[in-house]
Amino acid sequence: MRRVAILRSCLAVIVPAMLGAVTAAAQQATVTGRITDQASGQPIQEARVIVLGTSQFASSGADGKYTVRNVPVGNVDVRVIRVGYTEQKKSVRTAAGESVTLDFTMTQTVVRLEEVVTTATGEQRRTELGNAVSSLDVSKIVANAPIHQMGDLLVAKAPGVQVLPSNMTGAGSRVRVRGTASLSLSNDPIYVIDGIRLTSNDPTANNNSISVGGTQPSRVNDLNPDDIENIEIVKGPSAATLYGTAAANGVIVITTKKGKAGAQRWNVYSEQGKVQDKNSYPGMYAILGKSPGATTQRKCLLKELSVSASATGATCIMDSVSSVNVFNDPDLSPIKTGGVTSTALS
């Protein structure tokens, strides 16, 4: 009798608990579905499906299918994440004891790795870099804008960097990083190309003189923008710390393109155009006349000019005025329309 009493008491405890669990399960729902790639339509494996606001989650199998159980009843938000794909989130309404189908189509995305900056002290992660560095992706700049020389790559591309155009033919543009630092010394930054310093302007070299009023060309413009991979601009005291006092005006670090693994790719570039002088030039005038008593015509000066032979002290009597504009005469003008042709194959 005692064993029967104990059994009855145990059943009185277990049965209500089981009934409560069954009732709770009946009041929850199940979400199932399939996750596929948008481009190929193939199933995506190991995608994590999470019911927001709860601890319920599941992973998709090799066929892309998933099942999340014990989902609360009502409007719930379901989120899917997978490395290499853009996360997605959808809302669904669930009912007690029912199973709801919710499919996802995911889009591949580029995963950005940590950026690495090459400095005088070696490669460093950007998060660890304590210097002011601006990076320029030259390939994107060349693809979106017409680039003819090195200075065009830096115009309005980085804060604190100014490109001053030249005001004389043949002279190179001037780059200023954080303004002018000296009134008497050079304010040009130094250039480092693949670890080698470039001498941009050497006034003592005879080959730099182009006889345009003392203006010197910028040897940086000899670089082909299509050969540059990226540019890093190191500014202010950071540049002097890394490269010495000569870099107080800033440092422009240039990295050229190198071969990469993969299929061959050929680039062809061609450009043609004309160069015309649209300026207006004044004409030249001359006063012609004869000396008193002479028959040969000559050019008269203003101080000896006279309109009458009876004038006192007259040494040249004006009889006509001539004018000529050399630049307007195609046969005399030294200025011609020039042709520009640029072709590149890489």
Spell out the per-residue pLDDT of the chain, length 346, in tens. Answer: 555 455 455 545 454 544 444 444 557 899 999 999 998 889 999 999 999 988 899 999 999 999 999 999 999 999 999 988 999 999 999 988 899 999 999 998 876 655 655 555 455 555 444 456 777 888 788 777 777 777 788 887 777 788 877 666 656 677 888 777 777 777 788 888 888 888 655 544 444 455 555 566 677 777 888 888 888 888 767 777 777 777 778 888 888 888 888 888 888 888 899 988 888 888 888 888 888 878 888 888 877 776 555 556 668 888 888 888 988 888 888 888 999 898 888 8
Q: How many CB atoms lie within 10 A of CB 344?
A: 12
Helix, strand and coil content of the chain, in percent to the nearest 5, comes to 20, 35, 45
Q: Which domain holds residue 64?
A: 2-106
Q: Read off the CATH number of the domain in which 189 is found.
A: 2.170.130.10
Q: How many CB atoms lie within 10 A of CB 150?
A: 25
Q: Are residues 291 and 218 located together in one domain of the fold?
A: no
pTM of the model: 0.46
Q: Are residues 41 and 89 located together in one domain of the fold?
A: yes
Q: Say if 322 falls within a structural domain.
A: yes
Q: Where are the beta strands (DSSP E) in 107-189?
A: 116-119, 122-125, 133-137, 161-164, 174-177
Q: Are residues 67 and 84 located together in one domain of the fold?
A: yes
CA 95 to chain CA centroid, nearest Å: 52
Q: Are residues 249 and 120 located together in one domain of the fold?
A: yes
Q: Which among 300, 297, 318 is positioned nearest to 309, based on CA atoms?
A: 318
Give the type of residue at 273. G
Q: Say if 240 falls within a structural domain.
A: yes
Total domain count for the chain?
Answer: 3
